Structure 1
Amino acid sequence: MKFKHYAKHLAIGIGALLWLTSCGSDKYYTPAQVNDLRAPAYPLITIDPYTSAWSMADNLYDLPVKHWTGHDFPMLGIIKVDGECYRFMGNEKAVMKQVVNTADKAPWKGNYTFEKPASEWMNPDFNDSAWKKGTGAFGTPAKTVKTDWPGTDIWVRRTIEIEPELLTKDLILEYSHDDNLELYINGKEVVNTGNACAMKQMKPLTGELKALLKPGKNIIAAHCKNPVGGAYLDFGIWEKPEFTPVFPMAAKQVSANVMPTQTYYAFECGGVLLDVIFTSPLLMDDLDLLSRPVNYITYQVKSVDGKSHDVAVYFDATPQWAQDRIYQPVTSSMEPDEKLFVLKTGTKEQDVLGQKGDDVRIDWGYFYLSGEKKQNRTAQIGRAAVVQEAFVKNSALDNSADETLTGDISEEMEVLAISDNLQKVGEKPVCGYIMVGYDDRYSIQYFGENLLPYWNRKGDKTIMGELSSAAQDYTPVMDKCAAFDKDLMKRASEVGGEKYADLCALVYRQAISAHKLVEDKKGELLFLSKENFSNGSIGTVDISYPSIPLFLVYNTDLAKGLMNHIFYYSESGKWNKPFAAHDVGTYPMANGQTYGGDMPVEESGNMLIMTTAVTLIDGNTDYAEKHWDVLTTWANYLLENGLDPENQLCTDDFAGHFAHNVNLSVKAIVGISGYAKMADLMGKKEISEKYMTAAKEMARKWEEMANDGDHYRLTFDKPNTWSQKYNMVWDKLFETGLFPEYIYKKELAYYLSKQNKYGLPLDNRRDYTKSDWILWTATMAEEADTFNALVDPVWLYANETTSRVPISDWHETILGTQHGFQARSVVGGYYMPILKEKMLKK
């Protein structure tokens, strides 16, 4: 489905595409410009790595609203027009019952082996008595992992009991795997993922698949292979009961338009036009606003058939927004406030900072749904069926919270709901908004100390105060977001064209909200990333490195926040190696590196390059001087080890260890030159000359060693290989002249001969790529045609991929599908062309 965003809007009389017009006493917002990109997933609520909700379908009503991990974060939006209810957001689902439990509900028993078994290992009558006995899930340490799986392969056999009556029900197989999975039921293969990693996959067991099950004992057998990184294996079966939706009729979506801080939808239904705008005020010039844990959902309604219509709107959300697992008991309440409805929910346990890992959601703190108390606006907390039927019958709720709720939503869902009876709506727009908020209480554990979120860094604020401030600030914040979006889209279009601007809009909120902003006890800003669907690391240097262009463009304090924890780790003596650490833990526990291997040249080069960029943009050496001793240690390490790196990982660690990495050598050389530039700006002329001379000599040797005729190699020792030399872009931005222009021209010409439909592969070994690196590679081009030739396939991938997730930066260039990763901050690297324009204009 291909939207021409807002074209139909224009045709039915919404007026010119202005971002601000009149809406009664309020304001009526429309997008800054048309974004023709069909997003892989549409950002809705983007506060931080935990409170992050997306629409993973073309239409907002096609699927439930989801967390970036793919778990349901249910939120319904209903508009009632002249007595008819139309669903414009979310999708109603039956509350399913787990009949063969996965580990997130309860541990399960199975037999397993790490040694390759006989070929009939998956059959029901196979003798597995020699296998070890263990408890699922299996994997690297995580909350639900009960049996450690330290190697590459694991084989698991699990006996399950199936009651006869279950075979008359709709059954769904759930499986989670990191990485490659083969799964069998009673000896027959039902899942074969190939080279992939995914969590909570749901496969209906119908027809022949369901016939594989029999009353009594059954065997589910699985083989999972994990070549690198974290490992995980879990599976179970659900029963899907019969279900009749309350709101079967959907509105007609006519447009969806992603701007940097806002997502705009438009719907037709019953003679009215409904606009819904999701706003995340992630404005980097105001860190208190950026970190305020409140987003807006705006609704705007007008008649388009010349008639007046009775209109009411309704929103509800479930406690799943505050749960990791649906089985966790919750408590919900309506908080007293004179001006706002404040609906609150959270787990009863409140195990603050009690878990860490990748595919997890927050289960401490509280979720809030809030709106101003105005005439004809009502709210209610109760069982979904009761609350929804009240709106259907009365266009209103009863302003109560059901005190009989048990807290167990795994059997009967409860909702927090707000409705607004707009009554008669004509051609003059009627507008309103609600707010979504989350108070995580404590956000990060930093070397043993629990840190408050930045918005409450002094401990003197409350979420009630933030909701109140957000309500008071609604109009000015919306105005600021609209103005920012307009400016950014114009800037991106001028730098790289409309398709490039589309990509910048798509990734803006994703890049920022994959971080958490806090301060340490000394007042140092920490802007800590989470490696989403990578391994869950926190504050990873080779995540900060590709992400940093966005933050260098808009606020170098945030760029420093990407590095401060790594400097502290070394300078405190907690990390005593002569190169930079990889990370400081597993999100949200930042107590020291947990990644299994070091990346000595990679991370040292990253830190030197990022510090140089901050120094050049700030126009002073304050930051570099503060950390000069450790920067010197890293620069000396690169001098000794950087030209021809030994066997080690680089940021593209999914490709595994390899030696003589030509692109990694570029990083070392540029890092050394950056150190020299900073020394020069500090007046350390002898040091500057020494290191710049060394960098230039290394670059000369690099060309000799890497030259492969019409291009440069992947590794120094292997002819007829190639790779993207994306690290070379900093030589242009730093204006160090290490690599002559003919090197860039030769490489770029070669890349154009290696492109596939959905992009330039990372190197000659595989067809997959990293889209952030493609944008860096494109930035090295001086000609617009070459730039567009490299960027346009990335736009096409985003527009056509069938992997409907917050855009994956690691994708297949022939199939256009996700290879791994999603919702990661590294897409901040898409802003490298704008960073180049900024730095070279100075």
Structure 2
Amino acid sequence: MSYQKKYVWAALCCLTLGLTSCDKSKTTTPADPGSAPFTTLRAPAYPLVTIDPYTSAWSMADNLYDDAVRHWTGEIHALTGAVRVDGAVYRFLGKEKYPLKALVPMAKDQPWEGQYTTKAPAAGWEKPEYKPTGWKTGKAAFGTKDFNATAAIWDTDDIWVRRTFTLSEFDSAVYLIYSHDDNFELYLNGQEIVNTGAAARMDILQKIDASLLRKDGPNTIAAHCKNTGGLAYVDFGLYTNSAQPEIFQQAAKQENVSVSATQTRYTFTCGGVGLEVTFRSPLLPTDLNLLSRPISFVDYRVTSADGKDHAVEVYFEMTPSWAVNSPSQEVVVNEGKAGSVAYVRAGTTEQPVLKRKGDNVRIDWGYVYLASALPAQAKLGIGTSAIAAKEQFSSQGDLAASAGETKAKLTESTPAMSYVHNLGKVGSKATSGYIMIAYDDVSSIQYFGDNRPAWWKQTKHATIDDILNEAQADYQEVKEKCDAFDKQVYQEALQAGGKKYADICILAFRQSIAAHKLTQDSSGNILFLSKENFSNGSIGTVDVTYPSAPLFLKYNPDLLKGMMNPIFYYSESGRWKKPFAAHDVGTYPLANGQTYGEDMPVEECGNMLVLAGAIAKREGNANYAKEHWKVLTTWAGYLRENGLDPANQLCTDDFAGHLAHNTNLSIKAIMGIASYGMLAEMLNKQDTAKLYKDEAARMAQEWVKMANDGDHYRLTFDQPGTWSQKYNL
């Protein structure tokens, strides 16, 4: 488990561990007695629409209007909001940013051809005048077959690539975008502009000095990449800014932002009116149908701020960027009706269902929906141009006639999926409304070769039309459930650890839950599968499950079982033949078997045994462990043989790297063995219980002696003077 993914879960490690604390701090009373408790602690990113790892939109700015809304990968999920007050437009949500224009496109946008070699070339290979005699000519991208854009297979240690091109005109702002796995250096016309060292990253944007480029003459980009093991990849291109103008130039004034477990609330001043906007994702762990429902709400509430009446129109706009991996993919946008709910939706024309896997990728199958029950004086529509749609609202406070259906590539033109609500004259009495943002992913997970739809499709045999109508019908009920649950979570965390602790728990809640997809296997067993972020894109990783477990133990242990079931099945089915637990079951969304290149035998066995024990403690019985007793016994036996003084291997603390004699792993093994002994006792296997409990006690005494380093315990048994925090216990 790498450092990049640890930050996602760090706050969750403590979410419920302290719920028996004696801290008697009391929650503050919200300004609105009907609202849930919110924290104003500055979040690294504010959750807006959090449904699952693919439909996951955030504000990464201090003010909601300072930047575009973004997917957690950093790519734009365009969502714009504005109010028109007495003819003046105030943008409160998002910022108009359009896809960069390709000068020299990457392979993911348009195939390109270059020269390459896997044998070390002569000195000067990076210079424009170099003659690449003996080099091959091939289509980019270059890499292993694991990447969707790979055209030329590269499976050796090194590759050198040259790409020559001409440019007649370009903006003063020129950007290099590059992807590499692993160590990478890149030269533009002989000058080094990238040297990553040991790293593997995708779609890195870097502004370059445009004076390095030659107009009306040949330019050369030369790159070298070293594959240190596992996956390999090289792709690069040059881009410039889009010439499209910003229409909503005037921003509102943000007054406050606050976050609860399921809601993020903003308040603004927009000329003579006040605006409150709430983003609600009802991720209630106790209600799996609601948790799985792929819909988030955006509420808006407007009141006069100066005692006068004001003419107000509200505008929301999405683009099909929510349904593509790359803006070069063709999309189709159309509209429809689902009972009392109207919608516009967008998706790729290709619809490559479950064809794309990996880390820094976004869903490009299924359809994103902007939906509303359309109160009086409200409209939904499709515009062939997002610029024209904004201009129409700015001048008229309305939408132009809907296009009905349109196709486009976002790199060429950007369609608008727009909603307008004319509130009429707004005074001291609040006027409100809401929109729904939904995503129908058709099939969610491939589970050992079987394409599985989301939980809501299997348990309710529902269509997205059914779910949109259901969400509209129980809008108020769900809102009240979210308010009540938010109060419960905040109060329990507050009592456990005080206000600062509660604030951190609140910020982490949606981030943890929306990192999973809820489905079930063909036998009806719950599957709650996580995705790693910027760390191989693994699915169902055990050492992601482990630190996030307290949240699910507290609010619904069945979800924790859904995180563990794939690992149990992987071993019990005979697909995983090793005597220890797997690290993962694939690369999201394909759960067909471990793809991470390194095993973590002691780490993952210990994690699975401790978690099985925790479920038994939480439920008061060991029934779940009994279902998997054979494989738990195998893992416990492995820890008895190999856990006290572990061999050289990784643990979840990747900062430490590969270590032999790791004291943290040893503790994990001891706790796993103790958990197995406890489970045996609960199952009335007294001889086994005594054997393993005694063994855990003996190993613990040995550990204290072996790890002792005076005033602290060592990182490794054989290295005096080392130290590490025992945080992952």
Is TM-score (shorter-chain normalized) higher than 0.5?
yes
Pairing 1:201–2:214 present: no
Alignment deviations for residues 499-518 of structure 1 (CA, whole Å, 9 cap, x no partner): 22221111111111111110
Pairing 1:17–2:17 present: no
Pairing 1:157–2:171 present: no
The answer (yes or no) to whether the contact 2:114–2:164 under 8 Å persists in 1 is no
What is the CA-CA distance between 1:181 and the residue it aligns to? Answer: 4.0
Alignment deviations for residues 585-639 of structure 1 (CA, whole Å, 9 cap, x no partner): 1111111222222221111111111111011101011101111111001100110
The answer (yes or no) to whether the contact 2:547–2:728 under 8 Å persists in 1 is no
Pairing 1:174–2:177 present: yes
2:397 aligned partner, one-letter code: S
Name which of 399, 402, 406 aligns with 1:400: 402
In the alignment, what sits opposite 1:295? Answer: 296
* Structure with the larger RCO, 1 or 2 (CA within 8 Å, 6+ apart): 2
In 1, Cα distance between equivalents of 2:45 and 2:222 = 33
Alignment deviations for residues 131-172 of structure 1 (CA, whole Å, 9 cap, x no partner): 565543344422123345556x64533223122223x55422
Alignment deviations for residues 443-501 of structure 1 (CA, whole Å, 9 cap, x no partner): 11111111110011147201111111111111111111122222222222222222222
In the alignment, what sits opposite 2:458? Answer: 457
Q: Which moved more, 1:527-536 or 1:106-115?
A: 106-115
In 2, Cα distance between equivalents of 1:625 and 1:599 = 24
What is the CA-CA distance between 1:201 and the residue it aligns to? Answer: 2.7
In the alignment, what sits opposite 2:92? Answer: 88
Summarize the alignment of residues 373-522 of structure 1 with structure 2, pairs less than 5 Å apart.
373-382=374-383, 383-398=385-400, 400-403=402-405, 405-458=406-459, 460-522=461-523
1:390 match: secondary structure: helix
The answer (yes or no) to whether the contact 2:408–2:414 under 8 Å persists in 1 is no
Q: Cα gap change, 1:432/1:226 in structure 2, threshold over 3 Å: closer, same or farther?
A: farther
In 1, Cα distance between equivalents of 2:306 and 2:613 = 59
The answer (yes or no) to whether the contact 2:57–2:72 under 8 Å persists in 1 is yes
Q: Cα gap change, 1:441/1:210 in structure 2, threshold over 3 Å: closer, same or farther?
A: same
2:355 aligned partner, one-letter code: G
Alignment deviations for residues 678-708 of structure 1 (CA, whole Å, 9 cap, x no partner): 1111111111110011111111111121111
The answer (yes or no) to whether the contact 2:172–2:210 under 8 Å persists in 1 is no
In the alignment, what sits opposite 1:71? Answer: 75
2:75 aligned partner, one-letter code: H
In 1, Cα distance between equivalents of 2:654 and 2:716 = 15
What is the CA-CA distance between 1:402 and the residue it aligns to? Answer: 4.0
1:407 match: secondary structure: strand
What is the CA-CA distance between 1:61 and the residue it aligns to? Answer: 1.1
Summarize the alignment of residues 543-582 of structure 1 with structure 2, pairs less than 5 Å apart.
543-582=544-583
In 2, Cα distance between equivalents of 1:281 and 1:491 = 19
In the alignment, what sits opposite 1:183? Answer: 186
Residue segments in structure 2 that go unaligned for 5+ positions in a row: 1-27
In 1, Cα distance between equivalents of 2:241 and 2:367 = 29
In the alignment, what sits opposite 1:44? Answer: 48
Summarize the alignment of residues 380-779 of structure 1 with structure 2, pairs less than 5 Å apart.
380-382=381-383, 383-398=385-400, 400-403=402-405, 405-458=406-459, 460-653=461-654, 655-728=656-729
In 1, Cα distance between equivalents of 2:522 and 2:647 = 39
Q: Cα gap change, 1:634/1:73 in structure 2, threshold over 3 Å: closer, same or farther?
A: same
What is the CA-CA distance between 1:193 and the residue it aligns to? Answer: 4.5
What is the CA-CA distance between 1:308 and the residue it aligns to? Answer: 1.0
Name which of 54, 57, 62 aligns with 2:58: 54
The answer (yes or no) to whether the contact 2:531–2:539 under 8 Å persists in 1 is yes
In the alignment, what sits opposite 1:733? Answer: none
Q: Which moved more, 1:651-660 or 1:436-445?
A: 651-660
Q: Cα gap change, 1:319/1:334 in structure 2, threshold over 3 Å: closer, same or farther?
A: same
In the alignment, what sits opposite 1:142? Answer: 147
2:148 aligned partner, one-letter code: K
1:566 aligned partner, one-letter code: I
What is the CA-CA distance between 1:244 and the residue it aligns to? Answer: 2.1
1:434 aligned partner, one-letter code: I
Q: Which moved more, 1:584-593 or 1:430-439?
A: 584-593
In 2, Cα distance between equivalents of 1:608 and 1:16 = 42
2:606 match: secondary structure: helix
Q: Cα gap change, 1:451/1:79 in structure 2, threshold over 3 Å: closer, same or farther?
A: same
Q: Cα gap change, 1:112/1:61 in structure 2, threshold over 3 Å: closer, same or farther?
A: same
2:399 aligned partner, one-letter code: L
2:149 match: secondary structure: coil
The answer (yes or no) to whether the contact 1:608–1:672 under 8 Å persists in 2 is yes
In 2, Cα distance between equivalents of 1:264 and 1:196 = 38
In 1, Cα distance between equivalents of 2:122 and 2:708 = 48
The answer (yes or no) to whether the contact 1:161–1:215 under 8 Å persists in 2 is no
In the alignment, what sits opposite 1:122? Answer: 126
In 2, Cα distance between equivalents of 1:52 and 1:697 = 47
In 2, Cα distance between equivalents of 1:337 and 1:400 = 18
In 2, Cα distance between equivalents of 1:36 and 1:459 = 38
What is the CA-CA distance between 1:273 and the residue it aligns to? Answer: 1.0
Q: Cα gap change, 1:685/1:658 in structure 2, threshold over 3 Å: closer, same or farther?
A: same
The answer (yes or no) to whether the contact 2:338–2:469 under 8 Å persists in 1 is no
In 1, Cα distance between equivalents of 2:615 and 2:89 = 53
2:408 match: secondary structure: coil
2:661 aligned partner, one-letter code: H
What is the CA-CA distance between 1:567 and the residue it aligns to? Answer: 0.9
The answer (yes or no) to whether the contact 2:115–2:163 under 8 Å persists in 1 is no
Aligned residues: 700
What is the CA-CA distance between 1:303 and the residue it aligns to? Answer: 1.1
1:175 aligned partner, one-letter code: Y
RMSD: 2.2
1:189 aligned partner, one-letter code: E
Summarize the alignment of residues 90-109 of structure 1 with structure 2, pairs less than 5 Å apart.
90-109=94-113
What is the CA-CA distance between 1:336 and the residue it aligns to? Answer: 2.5
In the alignment, what sits opposite 1:355? Answer: 356
The answer (yes or no) to whether the contact 2:262–2:510 under 8 Å persists in 1 is yes
Q: Cα gap change, 1:692/1:338 in structure 2, threshold over 3 Å: closer, same or farther?
A: closer
In the alignment, what sits opposite 1:32? Answer: 37
The answer (yes or no) to whether the contact 2:354–2:443 under 8 Å persists in 1 is yes
The answer (yes or no) to whether the contact 1:381–1:400 under 8 Å persists in 2 is yes
In 1, Cα distance between equivalents of 2:434 and 2:230 = 43
Normalised by the length of structure 2, the TM-score is 0.92
Q: Cα gap change, 1:256/1:225 in structure 2, threshold over 3 Å: closer, same or farther?
A: farther
1:173 aligned partner, one-letter code: L
The answer (yes or no) to whether the contact 1:228–1:656 under 8 Å persists in 2 is no
Q: Cα gap change, 1:114/1:318 in structure 2, threshold over 3 Å: closer, same or farther?
A: same
Identity, % of aligned positions: 52
2:536 match: secondary structure: coil
The answer (yes or no) to whether the contact 2:80–2:317 under 8 Å persists in 1 is yes
Alignment deviations for residues 21-43 of structure 1 (CA, whole Å, 9 cap, x no partner): 5xxxxxxxx5513x232211111
Q: Cα gap change, 1:121/1:336 in structure 2, threshold over 3 Å: closer, same or farther?
A: same
What is the CA-CA distance between 1:239 and the residue it aligns to? Answer: 2.8
Normalised by the length of structure 1, the TM-score is 0.80
In 2, Cα distance between equivalents of 1:707 and 1:229 = 38
Q: Which moved more, 1:228-237 or 1:612-621?
A: 228-237
The answer (yes or no) to whether the contact 1:444–1:452 under 8 Å persists in 2 is yes
1:457 aligned partner, one-letter code: Q
Alignment deviations for residues 78-113 of structure 1 (CA, whole Å, 9 cap, x no partner): 111110011111111244321211121133334445
